[in-house]
Structure 1
Amino acid sequence: MAGVKTELTKIRLNKFLASNTSLSRRKADEAIFSRRVRLNGAIISSPATYVDSDNDEVMLDNRLIATKTKEYWAFFKPKAVLTSYEREGEKRCLSDFDKLNRKKPAYSGRLDYNSEGLILFSNDGHFIQKLQRPDNKIPKEYLVYTDENLSEADIKLLEQGITFNGTNYMPCKIDKLADREYRIVLYEGKNRQIRNMINHCGKKTRRLIRTKIGCVGLKDLNPGEFRQLTKNEIMEITNV
């Protein structure tokens, strides 16, 4: 009958989750087995369950997974905000921003509490996975202010890659912009990486702002503001 969907027009639940969140197919299976997924209000325990993405309601951790309209946002995270929807004590977090709190989209580009700058959000799981795959080596650009100038030897050392407290950091690119001001481009995103690199040279990071992820920049955003990504920005990252 016309207008009636068959099983062939539907999609398996684990594939649906992997396509519409930041979860891999394996992690989607784990979420289902852990009873974190609801289909039309009912807890689902089988990844092989089929979903009609046009009509069914799927929730992960009590968050609705949007499918009809893909959204892509750049956000300027202010300093003193956790990159998390979960609050820790009195600290501000992503849930303090209405646009994020309503839908809690997946994100890429975690920044530590005292760092600021660009984070990308989307309900397109494929897009988020592209950003997070280490082998894609999508560059991330930062504006970094230090308490002392890095020497030429410091810069050369960091650009070649270092090991600090047992963690290996890949080669990077560093340009001195002014007194104690640098542009640093990384091709990975390890926890507190730039701060650790600067510490390795005996200096301290006074301010750290991520200004760019791949082709996407902050442009004229102010702290706490959002903008939609352009079609060209979305396509360039999707085609990596």
Structure 2
Amino acid sequence: MPANRNAEKEKIRLQAYIAHCGVASRRASEQIILDGRVAVNGKVITELGTKVTDEDEITVDGKKIKLESKKRYVLLNKPAGFVCSSSDEKGRAVAADLLKEKYSERLYNVGRLDMYSKGMIIFTNDGDFAAKLSHPSSQLEKEYIVETSQEVPNTFPQMFEKGIRIDNVFYKCKSCKILKPRKIKIVLIEGKNREIRTVLESQNIGTKSLVRVRIGCIKLDDLKPGDSRDLTTKEVENLLNELS
């Protein structure tokens, strides 16, 4: 039975409704509500326990939202220079804008890459899918190829795999391998903000290029920078099956 039919008969939490509309992940939708950006039938709602149906008129930032009729799962090869957010107050280019000509649905990124990093980002309008992939317990591998400004010491992989504390934050990768003196492959499980760059900088090593080439079972392969493609049904299933 289509999702919008279910919503007409059953009340669901407002943050779940917003996520199912493809506005943001469920966690991000909670913050949108707390920030007073959501109205139900003309009344601003700031309580997370509020329940709604598809018969209610719901707006975010004054724009009416409706449940998406089709779930989208999209892989983007993000070029450098794009930020991973729904909008940017500094006026910088937003990665989601690269999808607007191809997809009419409102899609949001699952996870992030910093503005200067390149490679794989998954976009979706399925809030449950995004929440499962983003949860710290998912243990989903992310693989990166990094080119550095200086040669990487032979001791670096073991140090990063064992873990290092920097400014009271603990960083630890699943694996690290030196491919060339200035090129390494790193696999993370729970990536923190700018983790790879921070760890390299702590060893006085600069980052020339950082590319995410794999998320779980999905590889970047020959997808060109700025291009995107739909994940297959099998790829989506395999991703979910990988979650612990």
Q: Under TM normalisation by the shorter chain, which class is it?
A: 0.7 to 0.9
**Alpha-carbon distance in 1 for matches of 2:237, 2:173:** 27
Deviations 1:53-111 (A, max 9, x none): xx766443437354321000001110111222323545322354252895442211311
* 1:174-189 alignment runs, 5 A limit: 174-189=176-191
Q: Quick one: structure 1 residues 12 and 89, their matched pair in 2 at CA, closer, same or farther if it must change by over 3 Å?
A: closer
Alignment of 1:158 onto 2:141: no
In structure 2, what is the equivalent of residue 80 of structure 1? Answer: 81
Structure 1 unmatched runs, 5+: none
In structure 2, what is the equivalent of residue 60 of structure 1? Answer: 60
Report the 3-state secondary structure (helix = DSSP H, G, I; strand = E; otherwise coil) of the residue aligned with 1:152. Answer: coil
In structure 2, what is the equivalent of residue 209 of structure 1? Answer: 211
**Alpha-carbon distance in 2 for matches of 1:124, 1:209:** 25
In structure 2, what is the equivalent of residue 22 of structure 1? Answer: 25
Match of 1:130 among 126, 129, 132: 132
In structure 2, give the amino acid aligned to 1:233.
E
* 1:89-100 alignment runs, 5 A limit: 89=90, 91-94=92-95, 96-99=97-100
In structure 2, what is the equivalent of residue 225 of structure 1? Answer: 227
Alignment of 1:11 onto 2:14: no
Which piece of structure 1 moves more, 5-14 or 61-70?
5-14
Report the 3-state secondary structure (helix = DSSP H, G, I; strand = E; otherwise coil) of the residue aligned with 1:92. Answer: coil
**Alpha-carbon distance in 2 for matches of 1:188, 1:205:** 20
Structure 2 unmatched runs, 5+: none
**Alpha-carbon distance in 2 for matches of 1:127, 1:7:** 18
Alignment of 1:143 onto 2:164: no
**Alpha-carbon distance in 1 for matches of 2:76, 2:125:** 14
Report the 3-state secondary structure (helix = DSSP H, G, I; strand = E; otherwise coil) of the residue aligned with 1:82. Answer: coil
1:130–1:237 CA contact under 8 A, matched in 2: no
Deviations 1:124-179 (A, max 9, x none): 00111111111111111001001122122122111111111221112431122233
The count of aligned residue pairs is 231
2:120–2:214 CA contact under 8 A, matched in 1: yes
**Alpha-carbon distance in 1 for matches of 2:121, 2:44:** 32
Per the normalisation by structure 1, the TM-score is 0.82
**Alpha-carbon distance in 2 for matches of 1:29, 1:145:** 38
Q: Quick one: structure 1 residues 33 and 201, their matched pair in 2 at CA, closer, same or farther if it must change by over 3 Å?
A: closer
Task: Using the TM superposition, give the Cα deviation of residue 38 of structure 1 relative to its aligned residue in structure 2, in angstroms.
Answer: 4.1
**Alpha-carbon distance in 2 for matches of 1:217, 1:108:** 16
In structure 1, give the amino acid aligned to 2:10.
K
Per the normalisation by structure 2, the TM-score is 0.81
Report the 3-state secondary structure (helix = DSSP H, G, I; strand = E; otherwise coil) of the residue aligned with 2:177. Answer: strand
In structure 2, what is the equivalent of residue 121 of structure 1? Answer: 123
Root-mean-square deviation (CA, aligned residues, Å) is 2.9
In structure 1, give the amino acid aligned to 2:60.
L
In structure 1, give the amino acid aligned to 2:144.
Y
**Alpha-carbon distance in 1 for matches of 2:169, 2:181:** 29
Report the 3-state secondary structure (helix = DSSP H, G, I; strand = E; otherwise coil) of the residue aligned with 2:197. Answer: helix
Alignment of 1:235 onto 2:226: no
In structure 2, what is the equivalent of residue 199 of structure 1? Answer: 201
Among the aligned pairs, what percent are the same residue?
30
